[in-house]
Each structure stands twice: as C-alpha cells, then as structure tokens.
Amino acid sequence: AQSVTQLDSQVPVFEEAPVELRCNYSSSVSVYLFWYVQYPNQGLQLLLKYLSGSTLVESINGFEAEFNKSQTSFHLRKPSVHISDTAEYFCAVFTGGGNKLTFGTGTQLKVEL
C-alpha cells in the first residue's frame, strides 16, 4: 500500500526567507505526485503536480517541487515566502494500483513578519 509522510507538522518562517516542506512517499510502482494548499476556512486547491517528464515542476506563485525517485521524495520549496503563503500544505500520491489519492498529514506553514 502507498503512504505519504510529511515529517513537519508546523514550519514557522520569516517573510522573504526560503522554505522547504518535506514529503516522502512509499510505493513500488510508478506514481503521480501532488501538492495541495488549504488557506484558512477554505477547501484544498491544487498547487502543482508531477505526472511525467521534467522532475522539477513549478506553480504560478513561485513554489517548486522536485521529484526524486531514488529518495522517493517530492519536497516543496520557495526561495522567498510572503505572508500570504500562510496555509496548510498537503502532499498526495496517486498510484494505479490503489486507484486513489493518498494524502499526507499536512504541514502548517506560518509566515511571520
């Protein structure tokens, strides 16, 4: 069975500092990988995804994630965060065998002035 691990439940960071949110997955077959973001009092929104091709994927608001097959990781990074990036971030993996998305437990990113 597939699983997703987000080791950090909370990540505090100052505005304009870089940030990395870690995600590791376990699966023996090909995977599709996703990051979703949940702003306060809202549902989840897709931030970025890896399906195939280039292992580095980017979002429109400056986040990027890199698929590392050997380390089974899909860490999310941003070189300079803004106060508006404060949200909860969920990593998710899809494999054909499970035929459904499996979500991590989430990382609360808190950006401070």
Q: Which chain residues interact with another protein by CB under 8 A?
A: 6, 9, 32, 34, 36, 41-46, 49, 51, 90, 94, 100-101, 103-106
Residue 3 or 68: which CB sits closer to another protein? 3
Residue 15 or 72: which CB sits closer to another protein? 72
Which ranges of 1-112 would DSSP assign to H, the alpha helix? none
Q: Which residues contact 50 (CB under 8 A, 6 or more apart)?
A: 32, 33, 34, 57, 65, 67, 74
Query: Whole-angstrom Cα distance, residue 113 to residue 99?
Result: 42
Smallest distance, another protein to C-beta of residue 94, A: 5
Residue 25 or 94: which CB sits closer to another protein? 94
